[in-house]
A = this chain, B = another copy of it.
Amino acid sequence: MQSFTKSKLAIAVGAALVATASIADSHATKSTNADVAARHAMMGLVGQNIGILGDTAKGEIAFNAGLVQAAATNLNMLAKIDPTTLWTAGTEQGAADLSRAKPEIWSDAAGFAQKFDDMADASAALMDVADLEGLRAGMGALGGTCKACHETYRGPKN
């Protein structure tokens, strides 16, 4: 039973960290489009905070309640950034360099906004987390929100 739980955790943390790693890889160069660069900056911040939670969940850094709560709070705020300032018209994949934004971001704006609401909820659940077990319990839901949004609204690697 414990190994099953551990395995689920590994998948959840893995999903979150794959998201982080792919951000770090793909944005070594900066888009010449300021709005694309800004949303990559936003995703970079998301990745950094997910990284703090993931590294802690995996035991790579010692559990620090203040740091974990700060990272979860940052994620919660980042989830609430107004997307209209970032996913601007004419910046879909193919139209702006380094963009991986699928047209569905604009054609299904309500669905896209819902993904951020889901991320806000999953991160809010970790804002008062008091111990490692609590963090691990919440990582699956959080990592799932990264994955769900990327699968639907992010195009293939450039």
* Chain A interface residues toward B at CB < 8 A: 24, 27-28, 30, 34-35, 37-38, 40-42, 44-45, 48-49, 51-52, 66-67, 70-71, 73-74, 77-78, 80-82, 84-85
Contacts and interface: CB of A to CB of B under 8 A. Distances in A.
A70 B80 CA distance: 10
Q: Count chain B CB atoms within 10 A of each CB in A27, A28, A41, A42 and give the residue with the most.
A: A41
Given A70-B82, A77-B80, 16 more contacts: A24-B34, A27-B30, A28-B30, A30-B30, A34-B48, A38-B48, A41-B42, A41-B44, A45-B45, A45-B81, A49-B85, A66-B84, A67-B84, A70-B85, A71-B82, A77-B77
Contacts of A66: 84
Contact of A77 (B28, B44, B67, B81): B81
A34 B38 CA distance: 17
Contacts of A48: 34-35, 37-38, 41, 85
Contacts of A37: 44, 48
27 contacts: A27-B30, A28-B30, A30-B30, A34-B48, A34-B51, A35-B48, A37-B44, A38-B48, A40-B41, A41-B42, A41-B48, A42-B45, A45-B45, A45-B81, A48-B85, A52-B85, A66-B84, A67-B84, A70-B84, A70-B85, A71-B82, A73-B82, A74-B82, A77-B77, A77-B78, A77-B80, A77-B81
